[in-house]
Amino acid sequence: MTVIPVKQTASLTAEELRKMQAYWQAANYLSVGQIYLLDNPLLREPLKLEHVKPRLLGHWGTTPGLNLIYVHFNRLIKRHDLNVIYVAGPGHGGPGLVANTYLEGTYSEFYPNISQDLEGMKLLFKQFSFPGGIPSHVAPETPGSIHEGGELGYALLHAYGAAFDNPDLLVCCVVGDGEAETGALATSWHSNKFLNPARDGAVLPILHLNGYKIANPTILARLDQEELEALFVGYGYKPYFVEGDDPETVHQLLAGTLDTIVAEIKTIQQDARINGFSKRPRHPMLILRTPKGWTGPKIVDGIPVENTFRSHQVPLAELASQPEHLKLLEDWLRSYQPEKLFDQTGKLIEELAELAPQGDRRMGANPHANGGLLLKDLKLPNFRDYAVEVPNPGTTTAESTRIMGQFLRDVMKLNLDRQNFRVMSPDENNSNRWNAILEVIDRVSTAEILPTDDHLSPDGRVIEVLSEQMCQGWLEGYLLTGRHGFFSCYEAFIHIIDSMFNQHAKWLKVTRHIPWRRSIASLNYLLTSHVWRQDHNGFSHQDPGFIDHVVNKKADVIRVYLPPDANTLLSVTDHCLRSRHYVNLIIAGKQPELQWLDMESAIKHCTAGIGIWEWASNDRGSEPDVVMGCAGDVPTLETLAAVDLLRQHFPDLKVRVVNVVDLMKLQPEEEHPHGLSHKEFDTIFTTDKPIVFAYHGYPWLIHRLTYRRTNHKNLHVRGYKEEGTTTTPFDMVVLNDLDRFHLVLDVIDRVPKLGYTAAYTQQFIRDKLIEHRQYITQYGEDMPEIRNWKWQH
Amino acid sequence: MTVIPVKQTASLTAEELRKMQAYWQAANYLSVGQIYLLDNPLLREPLKLEHVKPRLLGHWGTTPGLNLIYVHFNRLIKRHDLNVIYVAGPGHGGPGLVANTYLEGTYSEFYPNISQDLEGMKLLFKQFSFPGGIPSHVAPETPGSIHEGGELGYALLHAYGAAFDNPDLLVCCVVGDGEAETGALATSWHSNKFLNPARDGAVLPILHLNGYKIANPTILARLDQEELEALFVGYGYKPYFVEGDDPETVHQLLAGTLDTIVAEIKTIQQDARINGFSKRPRHPMLILRTPKGWTGPKIVDGIPVENTFRSHQVPLAELASQPEHLKLLEDWLRSYQPEKLFDQTGKLIEELAELAPQGDRRMGANPHANGGLLLKDLKLPNFRDYAVEVPNPGTTTAESTRIMGQFLRDVMKLNLDRQNFRVMSPDENNSNRWNAILEVIDRVSTAEILPTDDHLSPDGRVIEVLSEQMCQGWLEGYLLTGRHGFFSCYEAFIHIIDSMFNQHAKWLKVTRHIPWRRSIASLNYLLTSHVWRQDHNGFSHQDPGFIDHVVNKKADVIRVYLPPDANTLLSVTDHCLRSRHYVNLIIAGKQPELQWLDMESAIKHCTAGIGIWEWASNDRGSEPDVVMGCAGDVPTLETLAAVDLLRQHFPDLKVRVVNVVDLMKLQPEEEHPHGLSHKEFDTIFTTDKPIVFAYHGYPWLIHRLTYRRTNHKNLHVRGYKEEGTTTTPFDMVVLNDLDRFHLVLDVIDRVPKLGYTAAYTQQFIRDKLIEHRQYITQYGEDMPEIRNWKWQH
């Protein structure tokens, strides 16, 4: 385990101070330049309207603070030889991060046309928030970033995710006082309860109190000192305060404080690494209070701008209509004295350029921020070794996700030495049946552990916290820095991170097209405790709509799997752990359920993603009378039970059973890379026979995926139609017409040739449904013939 | 303004203590009975297996604590004549709330078959978590509840939402230490920065530290005392602590502490109401630390259960297989001495029944928890008075949501005296152009106000905080207690509350079928800063998928509107404010945009929800060659611009323009009450002509809504296909093929009769698209012919 040596605290010499101030001025100059200038980048001629962009887009307010911190971290990295990445929570301060990575040289290395000279600077300015250029926020295009910051609230989670299992890493995480109001951020401070300084890196949260959001003061900036300090003591930190609006004073205070903090972090780490973890330390954090829009225009049109919400975006926006604004802009730009910062060629002068660290120590070049560079494949056991014996389809039961847990246990075990695999869940690891993992690794907690606690220790790598947002954010941070993981969650409550998923999927989509970005491990979800088996928890726990949410994202980054049993789940899990740069969504059952496929059949089925289950069909060698499609474990069960009834009642009826594991197979191949060709689809589903399709989620999704298919007009889909309560498992499907009985009725409605026995069967089924209702309301559980049904063909 | 008189603090006499303990025992007994018993409700014969439910479902762990608090609040309400509702954050403690409302008599008033006698008790027990009975959580069926609690994290937001503008109300809000880990709850504590004791009621948060979740200790329960206290001081509270596992001690401590707290709340309110608001007070809150599963089995099978995570759900679950568990259950039940609590008929004995408050003071009967009872219609100005002049379609511009803001300003103004209307936004009120509202009411903040702040005061009723979760939760609480409101939000980030929306929609669905529940005001969303005009903020700000999320919920509670201009937006807004018990989703533009309909046309169009725009069509009296459908402001603009091009290039082509305001019109009438009949749909969209449909969101949704329509095979939809970055507004539509040029190409592809000029037009368009690309990358804004286009027919 690495032990970082401690250096003494020091404050700045006059020379250091002068240079750092100049470097900061350079970063601020470049930031303002990006927001405003199309041309005349170093103001070597008087500023004219034609030099200014016609549309002014960007956020100035947070930028000088982000720049200040960057400059100080450059010093800190060099002084203490630190390995640092910079997470900019107020990610709309994009110009600041771009400016700093340009100054340190990484920007031009990644984008050679943006060279460190006058021509490059002109392009740097023009491209910002400009069509064909770069986005206005810190974005995947920004060197050194693992965090977009367009949607606020996830900075600290990404920072902790990056620090887990990265003992040498220090994550500088700037938290805006605006984003600090979000729920995700408010609970993120508690991440320190899951960070073990003996094993993990450090996070230095810097709460940047610049006081304002778009139009309002922030909550935290208006707390009195007692409450502010108490809040962060309460969160488990040792808060340091740096406040001021005089640059020199702030530089001195900040440099000294950061030296102290680094020494303290090193002391904490040394102690834990030498003596072992004993007690959660109070990690240092910094509260930095500087004016919003610092160094920008103080007054515009007689109204205060600096240090008010009015400096949030573009402080001078009426340049075309108000000539005095152009003058103010020129004064503002010249106040940084660019002529003293950049040489004749337009390059940062040498004495300032020296302030930046070298090579990979530059925050824009740190490989942790381009995690694919560091990614190592997981060592995977052979998933076939975990196979459930399935002598005959549909006769034995298993808890599919429990089997998956056994496989994941050995994935964890094989990679313990690499420390690059974590599983997350909102207090549901065992509820979701991943208990086996705890045989090889504990849950992590740095709190006091009591004897009654179960598999809990500071050395654990199973992370459980009652916040889907924390699980998601940590995992994203972990994956983005080149590691692997799996997130298990109750299906209904994964919607809590819908928006976080969006941002991650967008990140994946964009980074696919950035040449210097390397692929990272996929974000893998297991959704269980799913809609059909939340009969006990009731309506609030029933929602299968995350699939719908996922499939709206770009086809080349999303995958959806609905393995119907344990062996298919194993095969899919192995596949997902090997995949890169996707979001893989797996939905599978955790309750004892009938098993359908032996391992070889499962592999074959999962490789195809969709297939005719010949053993359940009786249309061999001919066209079927009806196709029974199914996707999802419970719909598969009900479909096969319906087929059983059909066989009994209509022995001559030719039924084809089609099971879908990979949902994207249903879409046309031009819409999704996994999609079946129309010919393949027609071969499976016929071009003219009725299809009764039992689906795990909202039925409309199947129509949306298949409306271009030849036989779509004959497709009838059953799924969740938002009916549910606390009832029995079988009643859940009955309430939504997805049960075996309704499926048989659906077939009868669609196959005209069934003749006079159809009416008898319809009456039989109506009687069964009444019997079901009476039985459950009397006994509170499903009829034995339902509970004990097996496939007997 | 009401001033509540203060009473002196007192602790319990021995008699009071004995009775309260007995009442608590009764509540606990009834809770355990609900989880376990099918029969033999008062154990008048020895407990046998057949008396026990076959499936044991429920959560015991949190329940004794919820019961304890209920009993103490009964005393408090009587002693101080308080008006209290009880929000149970750990809502899975359903049996506790049901037990208490049964004991106080409200349950039997709402459900007369659950009578206060032996037969009623038997039914009470059986129905819990039983098919045909009641859900396992606190649910809409539970008297006195405004909060489901199935999904954790929203209790405190609902509590504050209920307290706003309800000066006489005290909301007792129990926060579980599990749910306290969620993001939503972690930021909810800051709600006190928005509560003005001069005008609003009080919230007493009770953090119930029972120490454990399903399988883990909680974060907050393992903080040391210093951090725990600091955290809540930091959140702005004055924390009181009550801890213990000896009932007598805890009763005394709790009674005394609650008396002190009530006195303090009254002092705070009196001061603010007499002297005016001066400074945010430190509101009291209570931290109650009692054992999880208190009074339940201490040890089961040699393993500790009480005060560990193992008491979370059903502590004795193997009754059928382990006879000694049955004995343990009987001992546990008998430990409450039910024979001393209930009389011969099965009714709570009189001396205990007297402990509950009377009438509406009972927490189960408080009308605030059935808000429809208190709901008063808003006084609405005539929305026609805010009409934008539209002399000709498509020639003048307006910012539609700014006009809406003027209407809402006067809604606010007319209802100021009723104090029953609030608007919420995540720091976006002005960004979303509702500035006018601030002319009549400020934003609310109880922080220090600085001279540079804008329209900010403790008396405001515009709530802005950078948390979509807080806005949503407060608004839900406000509506559920019988008031009105509107939530404006950036379209992309509304996904942050996807799951909260789910829960509210489910609440609305269920309460529609509970006879004693009264309809509440609809939850109204304005989504603006939408996908097409987030060209400046970039990809992270572009997501129109909330519509897809909403339409998955039950058709009878959701409505989606896409008004294309200001007058249609006014008409829709008025309609939504009058509606009841829906979620109304409105998506509209905030940028200057062309206006299409004068007010009378707008009203007619919105009343129909969909219609042929005759003035834009040239198919009068005949079948068109092509139908151009559109929904949403930007798609409408592009469609009309495309029609303009078509008229120029193909003057003989008969084009029909159909605009959709009410999206649900597209669905068949059997799927949604607003749906068009197939005949109506065919009349508008024809049965065989090509339809080119420009849609605001993901295009697949239109297919999902229309796949049953006759002419679906000819429907071609353009929409957002997840392409975007920081660019120009027009380039956003070009990137997604939704622009006028691509729409014309789509028509050319589908109408064969266009002849030789089609090739010329295709080339013209390809040239235009190249010209566009060149122009924006050179100038950074759209070509003047795009920016300045008007409708000139």
Q: What is the pLDDT of residues B383-395, one digit of tens each?
A: 999 999 999 999 9
Question: Distance (Å) from the C-alpha of residue B149 to the closest C-alpha of chain A?
Answer: 8
Same domain, yes or no, for A87 and A153? yes
Identify the closest residue of chain B to A309 by CA–CA distance. Answer: B453
Question: Which pLDDT tens digit goes with each residue over A84-135?
Answer: 999 999 978 899 999 999 999 999 999 999 999 999 999 999 999 999 999 9
Task: Quote the strand ranges of B529-662, DSSP E.
Answer: 558-561, 583-587, 592-594, 610-612, 626-631, 655-660
pLDDT at B380 over 50: yes
Q: Which of A129, A130, A190 sits opposite B219 (nearest CB)?
A: A190
Decide if A493 is inside a domain. yes
CB atoms within 10 A of CB B323: 11
Q: Which of B223, B427, B701 sits opposite A216 (nearest CB)?
A: B427
pLDDT at A159 over 90: yes
Q: Which of A447, A536, A541 sits opposite B129 (nearest CB)?
A: A536
Q: Whole-model pTM above 0.90? A: yes
Decide if A527 is inside a domain. yes
Are B700 and A536 an interchain contact pair (Cβ–Cβ within 8 Å)? Answer: no
Q: Which of B216, B496, B537 sits opposite A456 (nearest CB)?
A: B216
Span A581-599, average pLDDT: 98
Residue type, B190: H
Q: What is the mean pLDDT of chain B?
A: 96
Same domain, yes or no, for B268 and B126? yes
How high is the pLDDT of residue A318? 86
Q: Which of A561, A593, A625 is the last residue of a domain?
A: A593
- CATH assignment of the domain containing B239: 3.40.50.970
Question: Which pLDDT tens digit goes with each residue over B599-623?
Answer: 999 999 999 999 999 999 999 879 9
From the number of C-beta atoms within 10 Å of its C-beta (0-12, 13-18, 19+), residue A754 rates as buried
How high is the pLDDT of residue B318? 86
How many contacts does A have with B, using Cβ atoms within 8 A? Answer: 364
Q: Which of B218, B306, B427 to mutate to test the interface with A (most CBs of A within 10 A)?
A: B427
Q: Residues of A with CB below 8 A from B122's CB?
A: none
Question: Distance (Å) from the C-alpha of residue B708 to the closest C-alpha of chain A?
Answer: 8
pLDDT band at B6 (very low <50, low <70, confident <90, very high): very low
Percent of chain A with pLDDT over 90: 94
Distances (CA, A) of A729 to A447, A565, A787, B312: 38, 17, 9, 22
pLDDT band at A8 (very low <50, low <70, confident <90, very high): very low
Question: Which pLDDT tens digit goes with each residue over B616-649?
Answer: 999 987 999 999 999 999 999 999 999 999 999 9
Q: What is the mean pLDDT of chain A?
A: 96
**Number of C-alpha atoms within 13 angstroms, CB side, residue B108?**
18
How high is the pLDDT of residue B732? 97
Q: Residues of B with CB below 8 A from A698's CB?
A: 552
Phi/psi at A264 (5° precision): -70, -40
Q: Which of A216, A219, A428 sits opposite B214 (nearest CB)?
A: A428
How high is the pLDDT of residue B7? 42
Angle at A8 between CA A6 and CA A9, to 5 degrees: 120
Question: Which pLDDT tens digit goes with each residue over B243-281?
Answer: 999 999 999 999 999 999 999 999 999 999 999 999 999
Decide if A362 is inside a domain. no
Are B780 and A707 an interchain contact pair (Cβ–Cβ within 8 Å)? Answer: no
Q: Which of B593, B627, B661 is the last residue of a domain?
A: B593
Are B182 and A187 an interchain contact pair (Cβ–Cβ within 8 Å)? Answer: yes
Q: Residues of A with CB below 8 A from B183's CB?
A: 153, 182-188, 467, 469-470
Same domain, yes or no, for B557 and B637? no
How high is the pLDDT of residue A7? 42
Decide if B621 is inside a domain. yes
Q: Which of A187, A776, A777 sits opposite B183 (nearest CB)?
A: A187
3-class secondary-structure state, position B171 = strand
Question: Which pLDDT tens digit goes with each residue over A409-450?
Answer: 999 999 999 999 999 999 999 999 999 999 999 999 999 999
Contact at 8 Å (CB) between A173 and A369?
Answer: no
How high is the pLDDT of residue B149? 84
Span A766-790, average pLDDT: 97
Question: Distance (Å) from the C-alpha of residue A313 to the closest C-alpha of chain B?
Answer: 11
Q: Residues of B with CB below 8 A from A545's CB?
A: 502, 549, 552
Same domain, yes or no, for B557 and B639? no
How high is the pLDDT of residue B317? 86
Look up the domain containing A330 and give its range.
Answer: 14-355
Question: Which pLDDT tens digit goes with each residue over A440-452?
Answer: 999 999 999 999 9
Number of domains in chain A: 3
Contact at 8 Å (CB) between B259 and B266?
Answer: no
pLDDT at A528 over 80: yes
How high is the pLDDT of residue B1? 36
- In angstroms, the CA A711 to CA A678 distance is 10
Helix pair A740-750, A757-779: axis angle to 10 deg: 160
Same domain, yes or no, for A77 and A35? yes
Question: Distance (Å) from the C-alpha of residue B185 to the closest C-alpha of chain A?
Answer: 7
- CA B285 vs. chain centroid, Å, equals 25
Identify the closest residue of chain A to B307 by CA–CA distance. Answer: A452
Are B510 and A539 an interchain contact pair (Cβ–Cβ within 8 Å)? Answer: yes
- In angstroms, the CA A191 to CA A187 distance is 8
Are B445 and A223 an interchain contact pair (Cβ–Cβ within 8 Å)? Answer: no
Q: Which of A445, A503, A704 sits opposite B540 (nearest CB)?
A: A503
Are A38 and B780 an interchain contact pair (Cβ–Cβ within 8 Å)? Answer: yes
Span A287-303, average pLDDT: 95
Q: Residues of A with CB below 8 A from B153's CB?
A: 183
How high is the pLDDT of residue B320? 87
Are A510 and B539 an interchain contact pair (Cβ–Cβ within 8 Å)? Answer: yes
Q: Residues of A with CB below 8 A from B136's CB?
A: 536-538, 726
Contact at 8 Å (CB) between B572 and B586?
Answer: yes
Are B428 and A214 an interchain contact pair (Cβ–Cβ within 8 Å)? Answer: yes
How high is the pLDDT of residue A10? 52
The radius of gyration of chain B's CA atoms, rounded to the nearest angstrom, is: 30
Span B49-64, average pLDDT: 94
How high is the pLDDT of residue A621? 79
Span A388-398, average pLDDT: 97
* Cα–Cα nearest to A186, from B470, B489, B285, B215: B470
How high is the pLDDT of residue B10? 52
Are B453 and A216 an interchain contact pair (Cβ–Cβ within 8 Å)? Answer: yes
Q: Residues of A with CB below 8 A from B450's CB?
A: 217
Same domain, yes or no, for B19 and B85? yes
Decide if B665 is inside a domain. yes
Q: Which of A183, A540, A700 sits opposite B183 (nearest CB)?
A: A183
Contact at 8 Å (CB) between B425 and B439?
Answer: no
How high is the pLDDT of residue A6? 39
Distances (CA, A) of A140 to A30, A135, A136, A362, A652: 20, 9, 11, 17, 60
Q: Which of B294, B325, B355 is the last residue of a domain?
A: B355
Q: Which of A126, A234, A509 sits opposite B232 (nearest CB)?
A: A234
Same domain, yes or no, for A296 and A188? yes
Positive or negative: CA dihedral B40, B43, B45, B49:
positive
Are A536 and B55 an interchain contact pair (Cβ–Cβ within 8 Å)? Answer: yes
* Cα–Cα nearest to A543, from A502, A490, A605, A501: A490
Decide if B346 is inside a domain. yes
Identify the closest residue of chain B to A304 by CA–CA distance. Answer: B452
Same domain, yes or no, for A673 and A552? no
Q: Which of A456, A467, A499 sits opposite B496 (nearest CB)?
A: A499
Span A211-216, average pLDDT: 94
Same domain, yes or no, for B589 and B665? no
Beta bridge partners of A484: A421
Are B466 and A213 an interchain contact pair (Cβ–Cβ within 8 Å)? Answer: yes
Question: Distance (Å) from the C-alpha of residue B500 to the closest C-alpha of chain A?
Answer: 8
Are B777 and A131 an interchain contact pair (Cβ–Cβ within 8 Å)? Answer: yes
Span B733-762, average pLDDT: 95
pLDDT band at A298 (very low <50, low <70, confident <90, very high): very high
Same domain, yes or no, for A585 and A636? no
Are A545 and B552 an interchain contact pair (Cβ–Cβ within 8 Å)? Answer: yes
- CATH assignment of the domain containing A684: 3.40.50.920
Q: Residues of A with CB below 8 A from B553's CB?
A: 722
Report the residue count for chain B. 793
Range name among A239-248, A282-291, B534-543, B658-667 with the lowest pLDDT average: B534-543
Question: Which pLDDT tens digit goes with each residue over A459-491?
Answer: 999 999 999 999 999 999 999 999 999 999 999
Decide if A792 is inside a domain. no
Q: Residues of B with CB below 8 A from A313's CB?
A: none
Decide if A603 is inside a domain. no
pLDDT band at A755 (very low <50, low <70, confident <90, very high): confident
Same domain, yes or no, for B731 and B774? yes
Residue B351, H or E segment:
helix B350-353
Same domain, yes or no, for A325 and A465? no
Are B428 and A548 an interchain contact pair (Cβ–Cβ within 8 Å)? Answer: no
Question: Which pLDDT tens digit goes with each residue over A34-65?
Answer: 999 999 999 999 999 999 999 999 999 999 99
* Cα–Cα nearest to B244, from B262, B257, B230: B257
Task: Quote the strand ranges of A427-512, DSSP E.
Answer: 443-444, 456-457, 462-464, 484-490
Q: Residues of B with CB below 8 A from A213's CB?
A: 427, 466
Are B447 and A193 an interchain contact pair (Cβ–Cβ within 8 Å)? Answer: no
Residue B694, H or E segment:
strand B691-695
Q: Which of A510, A538, A552 sits opposite B137 (nearest CB)?
A: A538
